[in-house]
Amino acid sequence: MLARYFIDRPIFAWVIAILVTFAGVLALRALPVAQYPSVAPPALDISVNYPGASAQVVEQSAVQLIEQEMNGIENLLYMDSSSQVGSGQVSLTFKPGTDIQFASVEAQNRIKRVEARLPDDVRRLGVTVTRAGRNFILVVALTSPDESLDAVDLGSYATASVLEPLLRVPGVGEVLLFGTEYSMRIWLKPAQLESYAITPAEIARAVRAQNNLLALGEVGQLPVAPGQEVNAVIAARGRLATPEDFGNIVLRAMPDGAIVRLKDIARIELGAQDYNRSARLNGKPIAGMAIRTTPGANALATAQGVRAKMEELSRFFPQGMEWLVPYDTTRFIELSIREVAKTLLEAAALVVLVMYIFLGNWRTTLIPAIVVPVSLMGGLVGLYVFGFSINVLTLFAMVLAIGTVVDDAIVVVENVERNMRTRHLSPREATRVAMGEITGAIIAITLVLMAVFVPMAFFGGSTGAIYRQFAVTLLVTMAFSAFFALTLTPALCASLLKHDAASLERGFHGRFNRWFERLTARYVSGVAVATRRLVRSLLIYAVIVIAAVWIYDKLPGSFLPQEDQGYLITAIQLPPAATRERSQAVLERVEQYFLQQPQVDKVVGVLGFSFFGRGQNMALAF
């Protein structure tokens, strides 16, 4: 018998318990942390950029081709797309459980096949495939408190020195810049274009040809003629850097020696690369960087890594630049997990206290107090093996599992105590007799309880994603509880218990036991009265059932509980023809209203971007 084997070999039982505990600690360090299990099916986002193209041109020349190529990709549920001026996006949503890394490779291979049919500008700027999460976990802002740096200064520094280090932080899937960097702006003059009969395409070709890095070779490169004494690399002027350099680009050379330069037909200045998107903090310009995590990443660890990286980078910031995090969803996740973990510890402490009061002996209390955390560590190992996360639901499952774990341990300890008291057996013999009596009962009780939660582990869709982790956590923890009730608990009983019946008759425990016996007698007499008046008892039971059904019907329902996470998101959408100026006016009114509220700390506004689309008529405030 399993229990008898470990009664005779208690050290082996301890070794197994220690190994499970170590494995649980390692799993705890490796498990991702989230508020809830991931509900949304895995998805990929494909982005294309086509500067200067209308939404219709982007749709017909790029987005439709990508959609056609993505049809039939393995495990694809559906796809949706959107096109704006200069850019387009295609979102691929896959069946739950799909390996998103494999799907990403397949999508990139299909893009390679269609790349030859895409416009030259789209190919040159590249088609990006990202597998980041759908929601931002935090927004990092670069600000200039003394206003010595404008939005383009901040955006240029973010692009050059911040974005790439943040992308290298473990868990970061995407960093979306709410801002822009510097770029050379060439504003063409229509009258001069017509006068010289030059097209914008000719200008683009000339700029690309003359703003280039060329490999010109060497003087004296091997093999050389005898007597060659000098070897030198030929260096030429590389990329152009100033408006004057660009202004001297030659567009056309006439037979009579006249030269048409870029400055003759255009105004050239150093400006923003993209005026479509910008960010503000409390009405002042900033460079915002919105962080998305990779699928399955630890949100708390990612946020801590981003903060640590920003703290490291801030040592090299130019004068007048600072950073802050005005939007951070991980604070609420951390508080939620902390509160549930606190509840878990409180539940364990209350269980130990109640066991001590009822069992009346610190030795009998110590045994369940040891078994409970070891079984919970086994539950953490199960979370790691099944690829789950530490979240509110899995921790809640562990809180519920404490009752089952304690029940198994108490059943064993109480039966051993009874045999020691009534049969006057030694602890080891009493444990052998007790385990022979209750082994079948422990296994049966565990299987019955597990049968209640097994169906939840096979729910499909979003409901299954929510409840599967809850059910599996309970099942794994109960399985470890039953295993240790048959191995570790008997070994501890045989090693630690001592027969001391007199302690239950004196002091606090003696008074408590006498009071509890009187209470039990009254309960038994009450049950006898209820059985004699069966009709009345059944009527009371029926009233309780009807009241429960009525209350259940009246209670509001929701997929997940509504919780105040400390932030409010406002999406602003003007009519399709609205300009940026009109959108900014509306955003300013929203910012002013929020800032007047005493409960509001910061307001981040974004122009040209929204969760419902991008364009001059879109804005976002949170």
Q: What is the pLDDT of residues 92-138, one digit of tens each?
A: 888 877 888 888 888 888 888 888 888 888 888 888 888 766 678 88
| pLDDT exceeds 60 at position 325 | yes
Instruction: Measure Cα distances from 519 to 234, 312, 527 in Å.
Output: 101, 65, 12
pLDDT at 146: 85
Q: Helical H runs in 235-329?
A: 243-247, 262-265, 299-313
Least-confidence region, from 21-35, 254-268, 413-427: 413-427
Q: 3-state class of 89 per DSSP?
A: strand
How far apart are alpha carbons 510 and 507 in whole angstroms? Answer: 5
Q: Which of 27-41, 315-329, 418-432, 505-519 has the highest mean pLDDT?
A: 315-329
How far apart are alpha carbons 293 and 175 in whole angstroms? Answer: 9
DSSP annotation of 613: E
| pLDDT exceeds 60 at position 406 | yes
DSSP annotation of 294: P
pLDDT at 544: 92
Q: Do residues 101 and 42 touch, judged by C-beta distance below 8 A?
A: no
Least-confidence region, from 128-137, 245-254, 478-487, 544-553: 128-137
Residue that wins the pLDDT comparison between 488 and 361 = 488
Q: What residue ranges do the domains of the chain occupy?
A: 2-34+336-499, 136-181+275-328, 183-213+240-272, 570-621
pLDDT at 547: 92
Domains 2-34+336-499 and 183-213+240-272 share a fold: no
Least-confidence region, from 356-365, 405-414, 451-460, 571-580: 356-365
pLDDT at 561: 67
pLDDT at 600: 83
Among residues 375, 377, 374, 370, which one has the least CA distance to residue 352? Answer: 370
Q: Which of 19-23, 464-468, 519-523 has the highest mean pLDDT?
A: 19-23
- Bridge partners for 176 per DSSP: 290
> Residue for token digits 């739950």?
96
Mean pLDDT to the nearest integer, 211-226: 78
Mean pLDDT to the nearest integer, 362-377: 82
pLDDT at 19: 92
CATH 3.40.50.300: does it fit domain 136-181+275-328? no
pLDDT at 326: 87
pLDDT at 448: 87
Least-confidence region, from 169-183, 419-433, 551-565, 567-581: 551-565
| pLDDT exceeds 70 at position 594 | yes
Residue that wins the pLDDT comparison between 215 and 309 = 309
Q: Tell me the per-residue pLDDT of 16-25, one tens digit each, with 9 for 90 and over.
A: 889 998 998 8
**pTM > 0.85: yes or no:** no
How far apart are alpha carbons 391 and 470 in whole angstroms? Answer: 9
Domain 570-621 fold? Alpha-Beta Plaits (3.30.70)
pLDDT interval class at 560 (50, 70, 90): low
Domain 2-34+336-499 fold? Multidrug efflux transporter AcrB transmembrane fold (1.20.1640)
pLDDT interval class at 184 (50, 70, 90): confident
Mean pLDDT to the nearest integer, 451-472: 81
pLDDT over 70 for what percent of the chain?
95
| pLDDT exceeds 80 at position 356 | no
How far apart are alpha carbons 518 and 506 in whole angstroms? Answer: 17
How far apart are alpha carbons 105 and 108 in whole angstroms? Answer: 5
| pLDDT exceeds 80 at position 295 | no
Q: Do residues 272 and 182 touch, judged by C-beta distance below 8 A?
A: yes
| pLDDT exceeds 60 at position 502 | no
Q: Do residues 393 and 36 touch, judged by C-beta distance below 8 A?
A: yes
CATH class of 183-213+240-272: alpha beta
Mean pLDDT (the chain) is 83
The 3-state secondary structure of 445-475, one letter per residue? HHHHHHHHHHHHHHCCHHHHHHHHHHHHHHH
Residue that wins the pLDDT comparison between 539 and 85 = 539
